[in-house]
Amino acid sequence: MFAYIIRRVIATIPVVAIVALFIFSLLYFAPGDPAAIIAGDQATPADVERIRASLGLDRPFVVRFFEWSWQVVQGNLGVSIFTNLPVSKMIAQRIEPSLSLMLLTLTFAISVAVPLGVLAAWKHGTWIDRLVMMFAVFFFSVPVFVVGYLLAYTFALQLDWFPVQGYTPFSISDPWPWLRNLVLPAAALGGAFVALIARITRATMLEVLSQDYIRTARAKGVSQRPILFMHALKNAAVPIVTIIGIGFAGLIGGAVVTESVFAIPGVGRLVVDAILRRDYPIIQGVVLMLSFTYVLVNLCVDLLYTLFDPRIRY
């Protein structure tokens, strides 16, 4: 197992390197010029050129790519063109809100979706099943920002239970302000995720519940709860865990919108703002970090398989 983990971690290096080359090339060839944005309308072409030169944007692709790659290898993601701040510092400022939002969303989604999916499978064909599936289709279809606005209007503006926007850093002594800021965003972002996991859980559970060993367990008089949660769910877990892993990418995408709607200073907003103003070092740094994180999440998912299915060995 340990050797497998080491192998997988080493395997992330070429993946991240390919992502780095791809994103660098994409940005190099994409239209837009940060020097022109900074210089403004009054600037002469010579002024723009001077700013471009001062930012090092006038050098050839290969030189810039290898310089940046060498910096990255040394743990330096560069400096933002606009803010003059180290990219690693800017990402570090944004990690906590994004991680908080994602963890809370995942916790909310899994704790709601799995029981719902199991319930729908157990009550297959009944009104409960249809209600759960209707709920799933609804939340899967409605855009995150619409859910966000509705939640903010109802629970923040009308009922004044939660704040409309913002983020309070986590504090062990008083986590309530942190939680209060994240409840609505996590619920908005989690809606689609709940729908996705609930549908997969239901489908997988239905398949497992029709297996012979479940019939045998029932014939032996095992009650419904152990059948559902001990025998069936554990065997249905592999596809569910897989979809949670895949959904992580969707969560990153959805977080961009949620962070904008609820003004949470997360990594998603950082990268979108950077794309709009062509702040290349930030885009490169964040995409690199996210791709690395995604690879690690998938590694964790693969390792979780061994917990749920002893037949899987690495």
Partner 1 sequence: MKRRTVLQGIGAALAAPRIAAAQAARVLKFIPQSDLTVLDPIWTTAYVTRNHGFMVFDTLFGSDGSFKASPQMAAGMTVESDGRLVRITLRDGLKWHDGEKVLARDCAASIKRWGARDSFGQTVMAVTDELSAPDDKTIQFRLKKPFALLADALGKSSSNFAAMMPERLALTDPFKQITEMVGSGPYKFKADERNVGHLVVYECNAAYVPSPTGTASWTAGPKIANFDRVEWHVIPDPSTAAAALQGGEMDWWETPTGDLLPTLRKAGITVAIQDPTGLIGCMRFNQLQPPFDNPAIRRAIIGAISQEDFNLTIAGDDPAMSRTGVGVFTPGTPLASDVGLEPLIGKRDYDKVKRDLAAAGYKGEKVVFLAPTDLAVLKMQGDIAGDALKRAGLNVEVQAMDWGSVVGRRTNKGPIDKGGWNVACTFWTGGDHLTPAGHTFMRGTGEAGGNWGWPSSTVLEDLRTQWFDAPGLAAQQKLAQAMQRQVMQDVPYVPLGQVLQATAFRKNITGVPNGFAMFWNVRKG
152 binds partner 1 (CB under 8 A): yes
Nearer Cβ to partner 1 (47/207): 47
206 binds partner 1 (CB under 8 A): no
Nearer Cβ to partner 1 (26/230): 26
Q: Facing residues of 79 across strands?
A: 86
* Contact assessment for residue 272 and residue 212, using Cβ atoms and an 8 Å cutoff: no
111 Rama sector, left if φ>0, alpha if ψ -120 to 50, beta otherwise: alpha
Among the listed residues 17, 277, 298, 305, the single contact to partner 1 using CB under 8 A: 277
80 binds partner 1 (CB under 8 A): yes
Query: What minimum distance in Å lies between the beta carbon of 70 and partner 1?
Result: 23
Among the listed residues 6, 9, 21, 85, the single contact to partner 1 using CB under 8 A: 85
31 binds partner 1 (CB under 8 A): yes
Among the listed residues 77, 90, 195, 251, the single contact to partner 1 using CB under 8 A: 90
Give me the long-range contacts of 307-310 (CB less than 8 A, separation at least 24): 308/234, 308/235, 308/237, 308/238, 308/241, 309/235, 309/237, 309/238
SS3 79: strand
The stretch near partner 1 (CB under 8 A) out of 63-71, 245-253, 260-268, 302-310 is 260-268
184 binds partner 1 (CB under 8 A): no
Among the listed residues 19, 20, 23, 51, the single contact to partner 1 using CB under 8 A: 51
Among the listed residues 138, 153, 161, 314, the single contact to partner 1 using CB under 8 A: 153
Q: Give me the helix-helix angle, 233-261 and 144-151, nearest 10°.
A: 70
Among the listed residues 45, 60, 125, 221, the single contact to partner 1 using CB under 8 A: 45
Other beta carbons within 10 angstroms of residue 86's beta carbon come to: 16
Nearer Cβ to partner 1 (37/128): 37
Token pair recorded at residue 87: 């990219």
Phi, psi of 86 (to 5 degrees): -60, 135
Per-residue b or e along 201-210, where b marks 16 or more CB atoms closer than 10 Å to that residue's CB = bbbbbbebbe
What CA–CA distances, in Å, run from 6 to 9, 72, 252, 296?
A: 5, 21, 26, 12
Query: What minimum distance in Å lies between the beta carbon of 69 and partner 1?
Result: 24
Binders of partner 1 in range 1-30 (CB under 8 A): 30
Query: What minimum distance in Å lies between the beta carbon of 201 and partner 1?
Result: 33
* C-alpha span between 230 and 213 (Å, rounded): 12
Nearer Cβ to partner 1 (166/226): 166
* Contact assessment for residue 161 and residue 155, using Cβ atoms and an 8 Å cutoff: yes
Token pair recorded at residue 314: 């690495």
Nearer Cβ to partner 1 (77/279): 279
Query: What minimum distance in Å lies between the beta carbon of 252 and partner 1?
Result: 17
37 binds partner 1 (CB under 8 A): yes
Count interface residues toward partner 1 (CB under 8 A).
52
Non-local CB neighbours of 158 within 8 Å, separated by 6+ positions: none
Among the listed residues 68, 108, 262, 280, the single contact to partner 1 using CB under 8 A: 262
Residues that bind partner 1 (CB under 8 A): 30-34, 36-48, 50-51, 54, 80, 82-85, 90, 93, 149, 152-153, 156-157, 160, 163-167, 260-263, 265, 269-270, 273, 275-279
